[in-house]
Amino acid sequence: MTKTSSIVRTIRMDDASVEELIKKLWESASDAERDSRRSPRYAYNVKGCVVHLQSQGGGPPTSYLVPTRDISNTGMGFLHGSFIYPGSKCIVQLISMHGTWQNVPAKVVRCDYISSGVHDVGVHFLQDIDASEFCPEAAPCRILVVDDNLAIIRLAETLLKSMNADVDRAENGEEAMKLALAGVYDVILMDMDMPTLDGFDTVRQLRAKGYSGSIVAATGMTQPGDKEKCLEAGCNNYIPKPFGREQLSTLLQSLRQEPLLSSFAQDRQMLPLIDGFIKDLPARIREIETAFASDDLDALQKACRNLKGEAGSFGFEPISASASELEDAVLAQKPKEELKKPFAFLVRLCSQARASTRSDT
Q: What is the CATH number of the domain that holds 176?
A: 3.40.50.2300
Contact 22, 46 (CB under 8 A): no
Higher pLDDT, 215 or 133: 215
User: pLDDT confidence of 38, banded at 50, 70, 90?
Assistant: low
Same domain, 291 and 327: yes
- What whole-number distance in Å separates Cα of residue 356 and Cα of residue 72? 13
The Cα–Cα gap between 295 and 330 comes to: 11
Residues 60 and 107 reside in one and the same domain: yes
Over residues 38-66, mean pLDDT: 85
Q: pLDDT class for 205, splitting at 50, 70, 90? A: very high
Query: Does residue 110 surpass a pLDDT of 60?
Result: yes
The pLDDT value recorded for residue 37 is 57
Rounded CA separation 67/102 (Å): 17
Checking if the pLDDT of 178 tops 60, the result is yes
Task: Name the DSSP class of 136.
Answer: G
Together in a domain, 208 and 240 = yes
Q: What is the pLDDT of residue 4?
A: 44
Both 275 and 238 in one domain: the answer is no
Type of residue at 178: K
Quick one: pLDDT at residue 22?
Answer: 85
The mean pLDDT value for 219-247 works out to 92
The 8-class DSSP code of residue 104 comes to E
Say whether both 107 and 168 belong to one domain.
no
Nearest to 145 by CA among 163, 111, 168, 178: 168
Q: In sequence order, what E strands does 126-219 have?
A: 141-146, 165-170, 187-190, 215-219
- 127 plus 144 within the same structural domain: no
Same domain, 146 and 86: no
Q: Based on the fold, state whether residues 228 and 287 are members of the same structural domain.
A: no
34 pLDDT higher than 90: no
Give me the sheet containing 187-190, strands edge to edge: 165-170, 141-146, 187-190, 215-219, 237-240
Same domain, 275 and 314: yes
Query: What CATH number has the domain bearing residue 54?
Result: 2.40.10.220
> Hey, is 126 helix, strand or coil?
coil
Domain count, the chain: 3
| For range 258-284, the mean pLDDT | 90
Q: What angle do CA 49, 50, 51 make, to 5 degrees?
A: 115
- Of all residues in the chain, what percent carry a pLDDT higher than 90? 65
Q: What is the CATH number of the domain that holds 293?
A: 1.20.120.160
* The pLDDT of residue 361: 41
15 exposure class (CB count in 10 Å sphere: 0-12, 13-18, 19+):
exposed
Please tell me what DSSP assigns to residue 57.
T
Task: Clarify whether residues 284 and 216 are in a common domain.
Answer: no
Higher pLDDT, 177 or 265: 177
Instruction: State the residue range of the domain holding 52.
Output: 7-136
- What is the pLDDT confidence band of residue 2, given thresholds at 50, 70 and 90? very low
Average pLDDT of the chain, as a whole number = 89
Same domain (yes/no): 248, 277: no
Q: What is the pLDDT of residues 152-167, one digit of tens each?
A: 999 999 999 988 899 9
Q: Decide which of 248 and 97 is more confident.
A: 248
